[in-house]
C-alpha cells in the first residue's frame, strides 16, 4: 500500500512461541537405566510480539525539483507539528507556504525555520544542508538557513504517527542534531527524493507463502475434525 510513499520504511512482524506442554522432560528417566536425551515438548502456537520498522535506505529518484531533497544515509528532518511537538521525517518533498517558509507537503514547518525571500529567483540546497537563495535584480545570493538532521541510537524505537512522520520515544533515545555529513548523519541530495524501501515482488512472494501456510493449517484442522467426527459416529 505504501510502495509509492516517499521515504516510507516497511514493517516486519516479530513472533514468539507460546507456552509448551512438557510431556517428557529432557534428561528425564526413560527407565531405570537410561535418560531421555531430548524430551518431548508440544507447543501451543505463536503470537505477534512486536512490529519493527526496517530503516534500510530506499532508492534515490531524481525529480529535478529544486525543493525536493533526499537523505543519503542516516538521519531525519525535524518538523513542527500542529500540536507544537517535534516530528521526524525522511519525506523531502518540500514546498513554500504563503510566508515563504520551507514546509513539508503536509504543511509542517522545517526546523530550524527557513524562510525564502520573496524576490528569490532560485534556491540551492547544498549536500551539507546549506540553503542559498539567488536574489532578483542583481541582489546576488544569500544564505537563508541550513537544514539539520536528527539521528537516533535506535531508529526502530521511533513511533509512527501518520502523515509520513515519526515521534521520539524512550526506546529511540533522544535526538542527536547534526549538520548533514557530520556525526554519522547522511548527506542531502537536491532535486531528488528517497523512494519507499518496500519491494513489491518480495512482498507478493511473502503473501503467497503466508496464504499457502494458512491453507495447509486449515486443511489439517479439517482433517482432524473429520477424524473426530468419524470416531464419534462409529464408537
H helices of the chain, where? 200-234
The confidence score (pLDDT) of residue 207 equals 86
Contact 68, 192 (CB under 8 A): yes
N-to-C CA span, the chain: 52
pTM here? 0.80
190: which 3 cell numbers?
Answer: 537536491
The confidence score (pLDDT) of residue 145 equals 94
Q: Three-state DSSP class for 104?
A: strand
212: which 3 cell numbers?
Answer: 499457502
On the question of pLDDT at 32 being above 80, the answer is: no
101: which 3 cell numbers?
Answer: 517558509
Q: What average pLDDT is seen over the chain?
A: 91
27: which 3 cell numbers?
Answer: 534428561
Give DSSP secondary structure letters for 117-161.
-TTEEEEEE-TT-EEEEEESTT--EEEEEE--EEE-S-GGGPEEE
On the question of pLDDT at 227 being above 80, the answer is: yes
Amino acid at each position: 500500500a505504501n510502495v509509492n510513499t516517499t521515504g516510507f520504511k516497511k514493517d516486519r512482524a516479530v513472533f514468539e512461541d507460546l507456552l509448551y506442554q512438557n510431556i517428557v522432560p529432557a534428561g528425564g528417566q526413560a527407565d531405570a537405566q537410561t535418560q531421555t536425551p531430548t524430551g518431548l515438548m508440544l507447543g501451543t502456537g505463536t503470537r505477534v510480539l512486536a512490529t519493527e520498522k526496517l530503516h534500510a535506505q530506499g532508492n534515490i529518484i531524481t525529480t529535478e525539483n529544486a525543493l525536493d531533497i533526499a537523505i543519503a544515509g542516516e538521519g531525519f528532518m525535524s518538523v513542527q507539528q500542529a500540536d507544537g511537538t517535534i516530528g521526524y521525517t525522511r519525506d523531502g518533498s518540500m514546498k513554500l507556504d504563503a510566508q515563504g517558509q520551507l514546509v513539508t507537503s503536509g504543511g509542517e514547518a522545517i526546523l530550524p525555520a527557513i524562510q525564502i525571500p520573496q524576490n528569490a529567483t532560485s534556491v540551492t540546497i547544498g549536500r551539507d544542508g546549506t540553503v542559498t537563495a539567488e536574489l532578483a535584480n542583481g541582489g546576488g545570493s544569500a544564505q537563508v538557513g541550513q537544514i539539520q538532521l536528527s539521528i537516533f541510537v535506535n531508529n526502530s524505537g521511533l513511533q509512527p504517527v501518520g502523515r509520513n512522520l515519526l515521534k521520539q520515544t524512550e526506546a529511540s533515545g533522544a535526538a542527536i542534531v547534526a549538520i548533514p555529513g557530520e556525526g554519522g548523519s547522511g548527506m542531502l541530495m537536491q532535486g531528488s527524493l528517497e523512494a519507499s524501501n518496500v519491494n513489491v515482488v518480495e512482498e507478493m512472494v511473502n503473501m503467497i507463502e503466508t496464504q499457502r501456510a494458512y491453507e495447509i493449517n486449515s486443511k489439517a484442522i479439517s482433517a482432524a475434525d473429520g477424524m473426530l467426527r468419524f470416531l464419534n459416529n462409529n464408537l
